[in-house]
């Protein structure tokens, strides 16, 4: 994939060199375009050395008339030859010029000719970030379908602490990968909504060393949390033990057992309008856990296990006018089992998948599911990355919400 990396004039420009490398590590060809202000913070030679390509720094060449003519129309060629434009750092000044269509240098002129996807990673002082003018410019850019990689909070160059730090290069690069993979990035159609999501396995202790668990990686639940957050929702993610980075902008509550997950979910139920139960909760646990490790002997051992709390069933009883989405991990009779769960747990939708398939099982990055809806519909979602599946699930959640509101 061909990517234009636009570098604005801010102290965070040095991170753009790390971003260029991160994009190339993900298999992308990177063409760097720098503003005049950016050259005050980092040299074009740095980017040329990293990417192996000429860095564009101006709209006009200083050589012969032929070179000048070629340079003057180069912004059109660059716009046509690349699929994604990512600007990092996108300063307050750059955001304003993009929002109002001002074209006084190569980057802003090329932007007006660019027809691909645009990713903007702002970086600036906290007061500048929160200023009404900046907020209005961001709203206009979002309305055009541009992806905003929100800045992070932390110590800024000015010495203040707050929002405004450029997002980490790997995070920006991952967004560009998703854009390039053809994912549909939606308007913030979950704005004002609180989504409660569970993810991962639980671990039920047998003694201080051993536990009962399952093969859930948490990837589907974390993909759902990322999708909901990017679509504007406030997200509470109750996560069992997983080896995954926390989704940006998501409140993560780490739990271990089914009882801990139950208590966390019920504590945050009142604030949620949508509940997505993607966790693979253990069905049984040992009620009386020994204080010391059980020693191995030559004798057979039997354990009396009790059922864990049925979180989904309890949510079905308490949901009120909330939307409740359950998951069914099956090895056979997929749709029939999902319909039974839909009815018995009082869900609005059940996401069913076969977990005994190697390519789309628990630990895979992809999934293939069937959505079984309370409206009677059955919607198969063909194999795709879990992040894409997550967006398609929320597409149906929003349609369900409209149907429920229309029926009231």
Q: What is the pLDDT of residues 206-254, one digit of tens each?
A: 999 999 999 899 999 999 998 898 888 999 999 999 988 888 789 999 9
Do 270 and 351 lie in a common domain?
yes
DSSP letter string over 347-398?
-SEEEEEETT-GGGSTT-SEEEEEEEETTS-EEEEEEEEHHHHHHHHHHHHH
The domain in which residue 63 lies consists of 2-180
Determine if the peptide bond prior to 133 is cis (ω within 30°). Answer: no
Question: Residue 80 in 3-state DSSP?
Answer: helix
pLDDT computed for residue 55 by the predictor: 93
Q: How much is the pLDDT for 329? A: 85
Write out pLDDT tens, residues 258-268.
Answer: 999 999 999 99
Specify the 3-state DSSP secondary structure of 323: strand
| Within-domain flag for 289 | no
Can you spell out the DSSP letters for 97-166?
Answer: HHHHT---SHHHHHHHH--SEEEEEE---HHHHHSHHHHHHHHHHHHTTPEE-PPEEEE-TTS-EEEEEP
Asked, for residue 321, whether it belongs to a domain, the answer is yes
| Domain end position, chosen among 180, 204, 219 | 180
Residue 332 — pLDDT band, cuts 50, 70, 90?
Answer: confident
Q: Are residues 111 and 19 in the same domain?
A: yes
Total domains in the fold of the chain:
2
215 within some domain: yes
Catalytic residues: 158
377: in domain: yes
Assess whether 262 and 157 both reside in one domain. no
**Residues 116 and 239 placed together within one structural domain of the fold:** no
| Model pTM score | 0.60
221 and 311 fall within a common domain: yes
User: Is the pLDDT at 360 greater than 70, yes or no?
Assistant: no
In a domain, 298, yes or no: no
User: CATH no. for residue 315?
Assistant: 3.40.50.10300
| One domain for residues 230 and 176 | no
Highest mean pLDDT among 125-139, 261-275, 385-399: 261-275
Does 76 have pLDDT greater than 50? yes
Mean pLDDT of 274-284: 96
Question: Would 30 be classed as within a structural domain?
Answer: yes
Residue (of 152, 243, 173) closest to 5 by Cα position: 173
pLDDT digit string, tens, across residues 311-329 = 999 999 999 999 999 999 8
Do 233 and 170 share a domain, yes or no?
A: no
CATH number at residue 14: 3.40.50.1950
């Amino acid at each position: 994939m061909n990517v234009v990396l636009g570098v604005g004039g801010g102290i965070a420009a040095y991170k753009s060199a790390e971003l260029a490398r991160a994009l190339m590590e993900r298999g992308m060809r990177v063409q760097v375009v720098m503003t005049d202000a950016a050259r005050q913070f980092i040299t074009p030679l740095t980017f040329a050395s990293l990417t192996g390509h000429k860095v564009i720094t101006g709209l006009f060449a200083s050589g012969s008339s032929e070179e000048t003519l070629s340079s003057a129309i180069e912004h059109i060629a660059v716009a046509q030859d690349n699929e994604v434009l990512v600007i990092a750092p996108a300063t307050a000044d750059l955001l304003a010029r993009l929002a109002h269509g001002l074209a006084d240098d190569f980057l802003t002129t090329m932007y007006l000719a660019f027809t691909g996807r645009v990713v903007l990673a702002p970086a600036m002082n906290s007061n500048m970030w929160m200023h009404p003018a900046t907020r209005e410019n961001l709203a206009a850019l979002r309305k055009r379908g541009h992806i905003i990689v929100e800045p992070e909070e932390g110590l800024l160059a000015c010495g203040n602490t707050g929002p405004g730090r450029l997002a980490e290069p790997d995070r920006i690069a991952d967004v560009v990968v998703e854009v390039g993979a053809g994912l549909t990035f939606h308007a913030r159609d979950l704005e004002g909504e609180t989504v409660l999501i569970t993810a991962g396995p639980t671990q039920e202790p047998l003694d201080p060393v051993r536990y009962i668990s399952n093969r859930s990686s948490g990837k589907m639940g974390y993909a759902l949390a990322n999708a909901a957050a990017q679509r504007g929702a406030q997200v509470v993610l109750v996560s069992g033990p997983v080896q995954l980075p926390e989704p940006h902008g998501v409140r993560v509550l780490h739990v271990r057992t089914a009882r801990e997950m139950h208590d966390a979910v019920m504590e945050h139920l009142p604030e949620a309008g949508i509940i997505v139960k993607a966790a693979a909760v253990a069905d049984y646990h040992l009620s009386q856990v020994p204080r010391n490790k059980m020693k191995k002997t030559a004798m057979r051992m039997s354990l009396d296990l009790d059922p864990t709390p049925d979180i989904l069933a309890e949510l079905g009883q308490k949901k009120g006018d909330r939307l409740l989405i359950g998951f069914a991990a099956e090895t056979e009779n997929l749709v029939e089992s999902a319909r039974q769960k839909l009815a018995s747990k009082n869900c609005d939708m059940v996401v069913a998948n076969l977990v005994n398939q190697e390519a789309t099982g628990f630990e895979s990055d992809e999934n293939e599911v069937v959505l079984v809806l309370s409206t009677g519909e059955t919607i198969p979602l063909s194999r795709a990355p879990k992040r894409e599946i997550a967006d398609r699930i929320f597409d149906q959640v929003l349609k369900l919400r409209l149907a429920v509101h229309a029926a009231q």
